[in-house]
Amino acid sequence: MANTEVTRDGQQAVYVYEGSLRLWHWINALAIFTLIGTGYFIGSPMSSVPGEASENFFFGWIRYIHFSAAYIMIAGFVFRLYLAVMGNRHSRELVFPSFTSRKWWAGVWHELKWYAFLTKEPKKYVGHNPLATLAMHFMLFWGTIFMIVTGLALYGEGTGMGSWQYEWFSSWVIPLFGQSQDVHTWHHLGMWYIICFVIIHIYAAFREDVMSRQSMVSTMISGWRTFKDNRPVDDDTD
């Protein structure tokens, strides 16, 4: 591998996450936290602010931050799709998991056993382990698409008929779900789906950092994957 180096203590290190992908990861993480926080307060507003309505725009700002963060997340998502095609092979995994590979599914099974404490040693992966890929694909990737579509449909209600948000999203999403309130309800459920992913993702990242045979948290900061042993890797991407 061209992007492989050996560290000073004789261990292998592989450049896994490119700079653009790491930038996306952290911007996306920040956007998601902002969206969850502001989104929760849009659904369950805080106590009233004192004074005249004309002097305040508190709730307006919360919504403004929500919408801005949403657009940043959408732009990031489009960029992420570009990376899935044009980036290195690890950036493909989240968008196009190897669903057709038997070895990959065996990897999912092995990871499940690893998490159920039924196996002594985890496999060694340069990229994502198959179970992580599965979670990212169905919870983050499709979850994000769901939130973008329902979110733009709700936003289009405010921008009104004739706006691209309304014509491209609201006009068909709202009848599809029944009515506007149902889209709101599903957008809330979507938020909790993403929150569940965030909990699992952060927990698993730290756990794997300690328990697995490769680096985790530092990799998403530096881009380099380091390993705790020199035995061959189990990736199924080639």
Partner 1 sequence: MQETFYDVMRRQGITRRSFLKYCSLTAAALGLGPAFAPKIAHAMENKPRIPVLWLHGLECTCCSESFIRSAHPLAKDVILSMISLDYDDTIMAAAGQQAEAIVEEIVHKHKGNYILACEGNPPLNQDGMSCIIGGKPYLEQLQFAAKDAKAIISWGSCASWGCVQAARPNPTQAVPIHKAPGIPGNVPIIKVPGCPPIAEVMTAVVTYILTFDRLPSLDRQGRPKMFYSQRIHDKCYRRPHFDAGQFVEAFDDEGARKGYCLYKVGCKGPTTYNACSTVRWNGGLSFPIQAGHPCFGCSEDGFWDKGSFYDRLTDVHGFGVESNADEIGMAAAGVVGAAAAVHAGASIVKRMAQKGDKE
Minimal distance in Å, beta carbon 106 to partner 1? 22
Residue type, position 221, single letter: I
**Pick 44 or 100: Cβ nearer partner 1:** 44
Minimal distance in Å, beta carbon 32 to partner 1? 14
Could you tell me how many residues make up the chain?
Answer: 238
**Pick 63 or 92: Cβ nearer partner 1:** 63
Instruction: Report the interface residues with partner 1, using CB under 8 A.
Output: 43-49, 51-60, 62, 115, 117, 157-158, 160-161, 171-172, 175, 178-182, 184-186, 188-189, 191-193, 195-196, 199-200, 203, 207, 210-211
Minimal distance in Å, beta carbon 100 to partner 1? 29
Minimal distance in Å, beta carbon 68 to partner 1? 16
**Pick 1 or 210: Cβ nearer partner 1:** 210
Minimal distance in Å, beta carbon 181 to partner 1? 4
Asked whether 27 and 234 are in contact (CB, 8 A), the reply is no
**Pick 109 or 192: Cβ nearer partner 1:** 192
13 phi/psi in degrees, rounded to 5: -140, 135
Question: Which two structure tokens, joined as six digits, stand for 50?
Answer: 């004192």
CA distance 123 to 113: 11
**Pick 3 or 56: Cβ nearer partner 1:** 56
